[in-house]
Amino acid sequence: INRIAVITSGGDAPGMNAAVRAVVLTAENYGIEVVGFRHGYEGVLTNDYIKLGRESVEHILQYSGTIIKSARSERFKTDDGGREAAENLDAHQIDGFIVIGGDGSFRGADHLAKFWQGPIIGVPGTIDNDLYGTDNTIGYDTAVETAMDALDKIRDTAEAMDRVFIVEVMGRNAGYIGISSAMACGSERMILPELQKDKPLTVDALVKHIEGVHRVRGDSSYVMVLCENQWPGGAVRLAEQLEDRLNFPCRPCLLGHVQRGGRPTAMDRILATRLGVHAVELIRSGETGVMAGISRNELCTTPLQDTWMQRKQLSQELIDIQTKLFNPVKKERHKA
Ligand code: ADP
């Protein structure tokens, strides 16, 4: 192995830079050159690349974003795109490929493997934490921290003004950011994809719950965590629907892309560093088609296809704590 390539692809996540840094420093340690294609798979198609050495990755691990940029590429998804990418990698004499991204990016890696024979390793980088085969993905911890920070601030004003807040968090189709931030902030209610699909909450049920909490506690500071894509019209619509039925104000708050930025937490920097090193070691040991992950704090690998074909399960223990134990008007919820 003389030269490897690295890309960051799809939705960016805090800690991607730390992973790039770890790849470069580890490779350099073994005398392996690193080429960074910019803008994900798009850069492989357009030959937009930079050589990455120790000096290019110094002091980047504390910053979110990614120095080699991330993007989505439609052209790459076609057979012609895959073939072209493979030809470009060969032209650069690349003999190992590391993709830092989410499940879409790993599907892309699988697509590339149809046209390119070299070793391909995935590194899980997404705030959604929705990849099977790793306890945490890079960026998730930072996103939860950001959501928690915002929810604490929302609670201050909800408390002062006796208001209901619907705070919409990211996570795509997974409730990891939702449940973790809800638990960390003592939110009264959460609307999670994992629960919505079996037993969707109705406006009636939510109204009953809010009124129940109001009766029991005597104030109406109420913070609901709504996962994105789980309510038609999102937090704005839900706040309108609730306000129509309640005697107190309901306000929406969309956290949006702030969850993708900010200083990566220590957990994310360390995870990104471990997985970046692991990815290079895997290439050196001849592995291919796997994602580098962490299970029970030990390094592990999972076939790339499993990372999106198998569904990672949100912990039932956490769901139970939040929905059964810490639900102040449990009986009313069941009636509803
Ligand atoms: P994420 O990695 O955050 O899930 P996307 O779903 O946007 O991001 O995927 C990133 C890129 O990976 C896409 O723009 C595309 O180039 C590539 N990709 C995604 N799905 C496929 C697929 N089924 N086949 C080939 N390439 C894909």
* pLDDT value at residue 323: 85
Question: Whose structure tokens read 């939860």?
Answer: 144
At residue 328 the predicted structure's pLDDT band, cuts being 50, 70 and 90, is low
Q: Exposed (0-12), middle (13-18) or buried (19+): which is 270, by Cβ within 10 Å? A: middle
Q: Which atom of ligand 1 is nearest to the CA of 111?
A: 25
**Range with the poorest average pLDDT among 84-88, 290-294, 306-310, 325-329:** 325-329
Distance 105 CA to ligand 1 centre (A): 4
Q: Which atom of ligand 1 is nearest to the CA of 41?
A: 16
311 φ/ψ angles, rounded to the nearest 5 degrees: -95, 125
Instruction: Please give the Cα distance from 318 to 310 (Å, whole number).
Output: 20
Q: Which atom of ligand 1 is nearest to the CA of 126?
A: 3
The candidate with the shortest Cα–Cα distance to 157, out of 209, 223, 248, 241, is 223
Instruction: Please give the Cα distance from 18 to 160 (Å, whole number).
Output: 40
Task: Select which of 110, 128, 130, 268 is catalytic.
Answer: 128
Residue 336 has pLDDT above 60, yes or no: no
Ligand 1 atom 19: the closest Cα is on which residue? 104
Q: Which two tokens mark 192? A: 């999670």
**Which residue among 16, 37, 44, 105 is best mutated to probe the pocket of ligand 1, counting the most ligand atoms within 8 A of its Cβ?**
105
Distance 206 CA to ligand 1 centre (A): 36
**Which residue among 16, 39, 77 is best mutated to probe the pocket of ligand 1, counting the most ligand atoms within 8 A of its Cβ?**
77
At residue 335 the predicted structure's pLDDT band, cuts being 50, 70 and 90, is very low
Ligand 1-lining residues (CB < 6 angstroms): 9-11, 41, 72-73, 76-77, 101-105, 107-108, 111, 126
Q: Which two tokens mark 222? A: 């109420």
Q: Could you report the per-residue pLDDT of 126-140, keeping only the tens digit for each? A: 999 999 999 999 999
pTM for the model: 0.96
User: What letter represents residue 266's amino acid?
Assistant: A
145 φ/ψ angles, rounded to the nearest 5 degrees: -60, -45
Distance 130 CA to ligand 1 centre (A): 15
Q: Which atom of ligand 1 is nearest to the CA of 42?
A: 16
Ligand 1 atom 4: the closest Cα is on which residue? 104
Q: Could you report the per-residue pLDDT of 289-304, keeping only the tens digit for each? A: 999 999 999 999 999 9
Distance 311 CA to ligand 1 centre (A): 18
Ligand 1 atom 8: the closest Cα is on which residue? 10
The candidate with the shortest Cα–Cα distance to 191, out of 226, 156, 220, is 226
Known catalytic membership, residue 128 = yes
Ligand 1 atom 18: the closest Cα is on which residue? 108
Ligand 1 atom 2: the closest Cα is on which residue? 102
**Which residue among 66, 107, 115 is best mutated to probe the pocket of ligand 1, counting the most ligand atoms within 8 A of its Cβ?**
107
Ligand 1 atom 6: the closest Cα is on which residue? 104
Q: Could you report the per-residue pLDDT of 36-83, keeping only the tens digit for each? A: 999 999 999 999 999 999 999 999 999 999 999 999 999 999 999 999
Question: Whose structure tokens read 């604490």?
Answer: 152
Strand order in the sheet with 49-52: 49-52, 33-37, 3-8, 97-101, 120-124, 290-295, 298-303
Q: Which two tokens mark 228? A: 């994105």
